Structure 1
Amino acid sequence: MRGQYMSVKIDFLRSFFESGKYADDKSLTGQIADLFPAIIYTCDIESRKLDYMNLQFTEYFGYPDEVIRHTPNAIYNLVHPDDVNLVKHELDKLYADDPDVDACTYESRLCGRDGNCRHFKTNGYVVRDADGRAASLLFIAQDITETLRSRQEADSLKKLSVETEELLQFGTWTLEVPGDTMTWTPGLCLLLGYPKEEAGAPVSKSVYFDHIVNGYRDGLNEIISQAMLAESGFDYEYVVQTRNGVRKTVFTKGKVVMNDQGTVEKILGITRDITAIRNFEKEQERSIRELNRSNKELEEFAYVASHDLQEPLRKISMFSERLKLKLGNALDREGELFIERVMVASANMRLLIDDLLEFSRINRSSHNFNLLALQTVIDQAIADLELKIEETGSTIRVSGTLPKVEAVPSEMKQLFNNLLSNAIKFRKNNAPAMVDIICSKLAREEKKAWQLPAERTFYKIDIRDQGIGFDEEYADKIFLIFQRLHGKTEYPGSGIGLAICKKIVDNHNGIIFAHSEPEKGATFTVILPEKQF
C-alpha cells in the first residue's frame, strides 16, 4: 500500500516537471516538491548542468546555489567516488535519448555537507518538451540507508540461522494444513540429505513422511492429529532414513497455529538430529553396566577373600599363642622374638581384614536414609572412644548445635568415629589431643564454588585438631585405600580408615577434604546435604 502511494506521488512530480512549471520554485507544486520526503533535482541534457533542486537537496548537500547551477556534470560531485562509474553507466543510457529508454533506477552513496555518505535509491526520468524531445533529466533520490542496514542485518541473521542449524544439526518446517504442503529450512534439507539450496520450495507432506521409518510414521500422524484437536503443542522421537539411506534418530517439537476463524492454519515444527546423543547414552549405559558388574565382582572377591582369610589367620594366632605357652621356658630370646613378631603380624592382618570387610560392606550399602541428629551421632562416637580419650587425656569440644540430616545412622557413626579416632591417634608427642567440631550452613557462594545445587541446603562440619599434621601435597592421597604417610610401628593402622570415610561421604552425596601443615594440626571438612537427592 505504501509503495503504491509513493508511486502515485512520483508520477505526479514527473508530470509536474514535464509541464515546465518547475522554474517557479514558489509555486504550489514547488512547495509540494520541497515537502516531498526525497532529494529532487533536474539536469539540463544539453548543458549537463543542474537547473532545479528542492529544499532537501540544499539541506543535505549544502552547496551554494550559484556554484551547483553553473557546474557541468555536478551530479558526479555528489556521488561517492567508488560509485561514480556505476552512476555514469546509468546516466549515459538517458543522455543517449533512446526512445525506448526514458527511466533508470540505481543505488549509490551520496555524500552530504558533513562528509558522511548515505545510501540512496535514485529514480531517473527523461523529461520531454512539447515536441517530445528530451529536454532534461529528473532525479528523485530516496534515503535507503536504514532499509539497507536492516536488509544486511536480516541477511546476516539468516546466514547465522543457517549456520546454527548446521552446527546444531536441526531444521525447522512449516506445514500448511489445508494444502498439506511443507517448506523446509536449509538445516532440515541437510538433515534429510538434500542440498540446502532446495530450502524454501514447497513440497508435499508425503515427501517428509516418506523419510520416516515404518513403525514411527503412524505415531507422528496420530500425535499431530491430537495436537490439532487440542490446539496444543506436541513432541515426538522417531527414526528417519535420509535420501542417502542413513538412519537417524530425530526429535520433533511442534506447535499448532490458528487463524482468525479459530481453525488450524499451519503447524510449525523443529526437528533435531539426536543420533549422536542416543548412541552416547547407549554406550554410557553399556559402560555403566560393565562397570557395575566389575565393581560387584571386585566387592564379592574382596569380601570372600577377606572372609576366607579369617580362619587360617585365627589358627595362626591360636597356635602361636599355644606355642609360646608350651615352649616359653625352652625358647631363647631370639625364639621369643620370632613368636612375638608372628603374633603382632597376625594382629595387624586381622585389623586389615576387618577394615577390608568394613570397606566392602560400605560399598554394598543399601542406603537406607533416615532423618538423623548429628549431635546424637557425635555423642555415640565420643562414648565409643571414651577409654582412648581417658588414656590420652584428650578433649573433644562441639561448637554450636549440630543439625539433622538424612543419613544412614551406622555409616554416620563410623564416619565420625574414624575421624575423631584419627585426630587422637596423630596427636603431638603423646600429648593430649584437642579436637574442635564446628558446624555451619554453606552460603550460596560456597555452594557455587563446590558446584553444589544452589536450591539445596548443605552443612559443613569441620573436625579440627592440633596434632602433627601433614604436608598439603598429600591432602588427596590420604583418602586412597592403603595409603599411609607414617610407618605402622609409629602409628598403627591398616590405611583404610580415611578411605572408608570418603566412601561414606560419597554415598551421602557429600564432599570430604582436608587442610593441614606439618606440626600445625589438621582440619578435616565434611559437607553433607540436609536432604538426599
Structure 2
Amino acid sequence: MRDIYASIGELSVFAAMDACPQCVKIVNGDGIVVHINRTGLDFIEADDINGIIGANVYDFISADFREIWRTNHLAVCQGESRSWEYEITGLKGTKRYLETYATPLLLPNGVTLQFAFTKDITDKKRLELARQHTERRVKTMAEAILAISTSSDLQSLLREITERAREIVDAHRAFTSMPHGGGLDQRHSSLSLSDTFDPPAGNKAKSDVSGMHTAVQGWLAIPLKAKDGRSLGLIQVTDKREGKFDQTDEAFMIQFAQYASLAIERQQSIDSLRDSEERFRVLANSIQNLAWMADGEGSVCWYNKRWTEYTGLTLQEMEGWGWQKVHHPDHVEQISKFMRAAWKKNEPFEIIHLLRAKNGSYKWFLSQGNPICDAQGKILQWIGTLTDIDDQKRGEDRLEALVALRTKELHEANRALEQSNEELARFAHTASHDLKEPVRKIRLYTDMLRDDVEQFGTDNSRANIRKIESSSRRMAELIDGILKYSSFSQTREQLTATDLNAVMRDVEADLEMAIATQKATIVKKEGLPTIAGMPVLLHQLFYNLIGNALKFSKQDIPPVIEISGSLLSQAEVIEKGLPENKSYLTVCVKDNGIGFDQTDAVKMFDAYSRLNNSTRYEGTGLGLALCKRIAERHGGLIEAEGVMGQGALFKVILPA
C-alpha cells in the first residue's frame, strides 16, 4: 500500500481529499479500497480507516447493485470515465443510495486505479421511488374505478371491488361483504386470493361492519358508506405481500371505498328501479292526476289512463314530443322552450299552462316533473303529473283584477293624503312663522318692564315677570321647533357626498359656547367615513343629539360625549329589517348624563314627547322626532339605549 501512496504522490494530496465534503475514494482493479476520506467513512458507518483500507469494496455494495458496480469499475480501470448510482449497506445496517463519478488514475508503474467522487442521493432516490410507486398505485386505482363502473349486476360488482381492492394495496387476500338484516348475507359477499397466497395456520380474516377504519399489521378494513351515511358493507384486505399496511394503504383504500360505494348505490338504484317500475305504473293509473314518464332526454314514453281519458289521444299519438298537440297554440312555443331547458337540468320543475280536452276546451293545469338519477347523478328518466287548477287559476285572475282596482284606489287615496299633509305642513309653517312676531313683542315688552319692576315692583311682581320671560322663551323655542319639524317635509335636498367628520366639526363649532360653559369633552374614537347624504339635515340630526347630551348632563359632573362609527354586520342588517343588498354605517353618540328608562326608548322619538320636567330641562319635545325623520329620509333608522343615572347611547344607522 505504501508503494501505491508513493506512486500517487505526496501525502498532502490525501489531506486535501480528506477535507473534501464529498466522499473521495481510490479503489484498485480488484476492488480493494486504497484510500477513503472522512465523508466516505461516514457513509459506511466506520469510525476510522482501520479495517477499511485494504477491504473489498463489494462487501459494502448491496447485492442487487454489485454487478452494475463491477461493470462500471472495470470500464474505469480500462481508461473510461463513468458515473452510476448504487446502494450500499453500512456497518450498522443503514442503507444509502449513492451517485459516483469515477475517472481512471494511471500510476507511473502502469497500474490504473479508480479515483471517484461520491455523493449521498438517498433522499432524492427515495422520493423518486415513492413517486414511481404512487404513480403505479394511481394507475391501478384508475383502472379499478373504470372496472367497477361497468359491472352489470350487484354480485359481479362485488367480485370486481374485491379483486381490485387486493391489487391496490398489493395484498394476498381481500373480502367484501354487505349487511343484510342482522348479519352478513353470503349471497352479497366476495373473496379474492392471490395466486401465490399460502395462509399460515389459524390466520383467518376478521369481519367487522362497525363502520370504523381499522389498520393493523396484516389486516386493513374500510367501511362502504352511502351518501346519506348508511352502511353498505365492508372491504377487508389481509396479508400484505411485503411489509405492513400503512397510512398510505389506508388512504388509497378509503378513496377506493368511496368510489365503490357510489357504484354499489348506483347498482342498487338500477335494481330497485326495475322492481318498482311496475308498481309505479299500477299506482299511477289509479290516481286522479294526469301522469307521464319520459327518458333521460325528455322523450315521453308513457301516459296514465287519466291522460288518455282527458285528451282523447293514444300513447302512439302522444309519444316523444307529441304532447305539443294538446297545448294552446299561443303558448306552445314558450312551453317547448321551457321544457327543452328543464330536461337538461338535474332538478324538479313546474309550470302552469293550458291543456286541451278531447271536447276542444282548455283548462289550466300545474305540470310538475321530477328526475330519477343513478348514484352518479345521471338522469335515468323523468316522472311527472298534471294537476287541474282551472277553478283556482280563474279565481286568482279575478282576484288579481280586484287587487289591481283596489291598488289604484289606494294610490289615489295616498296622493290625496300626501297633498293634505303638504297643505297641513304649509299651514303649520305659516302659522308658526306668524306666531313668532307676537311672541317677539311679548319678550321685548317684558324686557322693558323688567327694569321698572326690578326697581319699583314687589317680590311677587318680579317673580311674575320671570315666569313671563320663561314662558315666552319656551313659546319661542316651541315655535322654532314646529317650524323646523313642519319644514322638514318641504326639504328637497339631494344626496351628495357628505363627510361626517366635517359635519361633526361644524356641530361642535355651533355648540362651542355650551361646550365651554359646561366644560364638556367630546371624544372621537375613530374617523367617520364620507356617505351619500343631505348635509343640512345631517347637521341638524347630530346638532340635536349632541345638544341633548349637553342639556341632559349631571349637575356636578362635566359631560363626556363619545362619538364613534362602525359598519353593521350582515346578520345585524337582517335583524333590523334593512335591505340586505346595502351596507350600513352605525354612528354612536354616547354620554354620561342623566340617562333614561329603557322602556321609554321608543316613545321618546314621538313628536312632543318629553321624559323630563320642562322647568328643569327646557325643550319642545320635537328634537328626537326630527332626528328620526331625518334618519328615515336617508333610508336608515335611529335607536336609543339608556340607564337611569348612567347615561344614554344613540345609534344612528345610515346607508354607507
Q: TM-score range by the shorter chain?
A: 0.5 to 0.7
Q: Is the 8 A contact 2:495 2:534 kept in 1?
A: yes
* Equivalent of residue 274 in structure 1, options 377, 397, 400: 400
Query: Does 2:500 match 1:374?
Result: yes
Tell me which amino acid in the other structure corresponds to 1:516: G
How far did 1:202 drift?
Answer: 4.9
* Equivalent of residue 549 in structure 2, options 410, 415, 423: 423
Query: Does 2:282 match 1:148?
Result: yes
State the SS of the aligned residue for 1:487.
Answer: coil
Q: Is the 8 A contact 1:248 1:275 kept in 2?
A: no
Kindly report which structure 2 residues correspond to 1:3-42, keeping only aligned pairs within 5 A, or say none.
none
* Equivalent of residue 328 in structure 2, options 165, 168, 175: 175
State the SS of the aligned residue for 1:311.
Answer: helix
Tell me which amino acid in the other structure corresponds to 2:279: T
How far did 1:301 drift?
Answer: 1.9
How far did 1:323 drift?
Answer: 2.2
* Equivalent of residue 200 in structure 1, options 330, 334, 357: 357
Q: Is the 8 A contact 1:371 1:404 kept in 2?
A: yes
How far did 1:423 drift?
Answer: 1.1
Tell me which amino acid in the other structure corresponds to 2:329: E
For the pair shown, the structure with the greater C-alpha radius of gyration is 2
Kindly report which structure 2 residues correspond to 1:364-443, keeping only aligned pairs within 5 A, or say none.
364-443=490-569
Q: Is the 8 A contact 1:371 1:405 kept in 2?
A: yes
Aligned CA distance change for structure 1 residues 151 and 377 (closer, same or farther; 3 Å): farther
Corresponding residue for 1:335? 461
Tell me which amino acid in the other structure corresponds to 2:281: T
How far did 1:412 drift?
Answer: 0.6
Query: Does 2:446 match 1:446?
Result: no
Kindly report which structure 2 residues correspond to 1:506-517, keeping only aligned pairs within 5 A, or say none.
506-517=632-643
Tell me which amino acid in the other structure corresponds to 2:280: E
Deviations 1:5-40 (A, max 9, x none): xxxxxxxxxxxxxxxxxxxxxxxxxxxxxxxxxxxx
State the SS of the aligned residue for 2:455.
Answer: coil
Higher relative contact order (CA 8 A, sep 6+): 1
How far did 1:174 drift?
Answer: 3.0
Corresponding residue for 2:584? 458
Q: Is the 8 A contact 2:453 2:461 kept in 1?
A: no
* Equivalent of residue 610 in structure 2, options 463, 472, 484: 484
Corresponding residue for 1:315? 441
Corresponding residue for 2:416? 290
Residue segments in structure 1 that go unaligned for 5+ positions in a row: 1-141, 159-172, 180-186, 190-197, 209-242, 251-271
Q: Is the 8 A contact 1:514 1:523 kept in 2?
A: yes
Q: Is the 8 A contact 1:313 1:346 kept in 2?
A: yes
- Root-mean-square deviation (CA, aligned residues, Å) is 3.5
> In structure 1, how many angstroms separate the alpha carbons of the residues matched to 2:595 and 2:571?
28
> In structure 2, how many angstroms separate the alpha carbons of the residues matched to 1:292 and 1:462?
33
> In structure 2, how many angstroms separate the alpha carbons of the residues matched to 1:178 and 1:435?
67
Tell me which amino acid in the other structure corresponds to 1:200: A
Deviations 1:51-95 (A, max 9, x none): xxxxxxxxxxxxxxxxxxxxxxxxxxxxxxxxxxxxxxxxxxxxx
Deviations 1:440-470 (A, max 9, x none): 1111111111122222111011111121111
State the SS of the aligned residue for 1:144.
Answer: helix
Deviations 1:274-300 (A, max 9, x none): 213312321320231122022112201
Q: Is the 8 A contact 1:398 1:438 kept in 2?
A: yes
Aligned CA distance change for structure 1 residues 342 and 273 (closer, same or farther; 3 Å): closer
Query: Does 2:434 match 1:300?
Result: no
Kindly report which structure 2 residues correspond to 1:468-507, keeping only aligned pairs within 5 A, or say none.
468-507=594-633
Deviations 1:86-120 (A, max 9, x none): xxxxxxxxxxxxxxxxxxxxxxxxxxxxxxxxxxx
* Equivalent of residue 653 in structure 2, options 502, 517, 527: 527
Tell me which amino acid in the other structure corresponds to 2:476: R
What number of residue pairs does the alignment pair up?
305
Aligned CA distance change for structure 1 residues 152 and 348 (closer, same or farther; 3 Å): farther
Q: Is the 8 A contact 1:461 1:526 kept in 2?
A: yes
| Percent of aligned positions that are identical | 31
How far did 1:430 drift?
Answer: 3.9
Kindly report which structure 2 residues correspond to 1:111-190, keeping only aligned pairs within 5 A, or say none.
144-151=278-285, 155=289, 174-176=327-329
Aligned CA distance change for structure 1 residues 153 and 424 (closer, same or farther; 3 Å): farther
TM-score when normalising by structure 2? 0.43
State the SS of the aligned residue for 1:175.
Answer: coil
Kindly report which structure 2 residues correspond to 1:29-108, keeping only aligned pairs within 5 A, or say none.
none
Aligned CA distance change for structure 1 residues 349 and 199 (closer, same or farther; 3 Å): same
Tell me which amino acid in the other structure corresponds to 2:357: G
Q: Is the 8 A contact 2:328 2:356 kept in 1?
A: no
State the SS of the aligned residue for 1:455.
Answer: coil
Aligned CA distance change for structure 1 residues 143 and 293 (closer, same or farther; 3 Å): closer
> In structure 1, how many angstroms separate the alpha carbons of the residues matched to 2:291 and 2:573?
39
Q: Is the 8 A contact 1:392 1:431 kept in 2?
A: no
> In structure 2, how many angstroms separate the alpha carbons of the residues matched to 1:203 and 1:367?
62
Corresponding residue for 2:176? none
Q: Is the 8 A contact 1:437 1:462 kept in 2?
A: yes
Residue segments in structure 2 that go unaligned for 5+ positions in a row: 1-275, 293-325, 333-351, 365-390
> In structure 1, how many angstroms separate the alpha carbons of the residues matched to 2:360 and 2:425?
60
Aligned CA distance change for structure 1 residues 487 and 202 (closer, same or farther; 3 Å): same
> In structure 1, how many angstroms separate the alpha carbons of the residues matched to 2:289 and 2:331?
31
Aligned CA distance change for structure 1 residues 202 and 175 (closer, same or farther; 3 Å): farther
Tell me which amino acid in the other structure corresponds to 2:561: V
Q: Is the 8 A contact 1:440 1:459 kept in 2?
A: yes
TM-score when normalising by structure 1? 0.52
Q: Is the 8 A contact 1:516 1:523 kept in 2?
A: yes
Tell me which amino acid in the other structure corresponds to 2:278: I
How far did 1:148 drift?
Answer: 2.7
Tell me which amino acid in the other structure corresponds to 1:335: S
> In structure 1, how many angstroms separate the alpha carbons of the residues matched to 2:550 and 2:654?
23
